A = this chain, B = another copy of it.
């Protein structure tokens, strides 16, 4: 059993595509997350409603599987579904389908509720989740364990948080982290491999003007796939950790 779904259409724009003429991961994530904003708006659970309560939804983790990235001018359907919730988290799926309804990609997402003033997580109340009709669960969802960066093999690249990286809530858009992560990967991997799955866990906010370090190490798996391990470091702490599994094109 799960909660309400919401769907909308999206044509992949030229400027959303990379060297391979495939939609970039940050562009796909942005388009996916927009659907949950549209669903919330349609259900009256607007940003303004959350603001009035002094609360904000924040994304804690994505577990993404990619069957095929959509390509330039392809018309895709984006779907979001409220899956379940417990006292601390809500779980939501984002999916992209091609015109024949083949699943292109799915992102299972863990949301938390932040008290804006303290910027700390707070409990998930009935009032917040009722509109989505998702199932209440007593357990935490199991996510793939994120393997740490191998410090002996790691390379690193600095990125400055730019003015246009921050949004109306003075946050860095969560898709921007994918930009820092992907752009730190060796160009030979980017050109010759494609992403099959990604897990990313957000641990601490980064702010305007911060210079983060995007560290990466990679390991070859037995089946010829690659696993890259990532950490975004900010002022001595970890802003997020991630793993990406890649297979040869």
Contact = CB atoms under 8 A, between A and B. Distances in A.
Nearest to A72: B168
Contact of A34 (B13, B162, B173): B13
A183 interface: yes
Interface stretch (A20-28, A80-88, A144-152): A20-28
Contact of A182 (B14, B163, B208): B163
A208 B166 CA distance: 24
A51 B108 CA distance: 40
A182 B168 contact: no
A24 B173 CA distance: 14
A73 B46 CA distance: 13
B175 A163 contact: no
Contact of A26 (B18, B31, B164, B187): B164
A103 to B, nearest CB: 23
Interface string A30-62: 110110010001000000000000000000000
Contacts of A190: 163
Interface residues on A, range: 20 to 34
Contact of A167 (B18, B31, B34, B163): B18
Contacts of A24: 164
A162 B187 CA distance: 10
A74 interface: no
Contacts of A187: 163, 208
Interface in A163-207: 163-164, 166-168, 170, 173, 175, 179, 182-183, 185, 187, 190
A60 B167 CA distance: 30
A74 to B, nearest CB: 14
Contacts of A183: 162-164
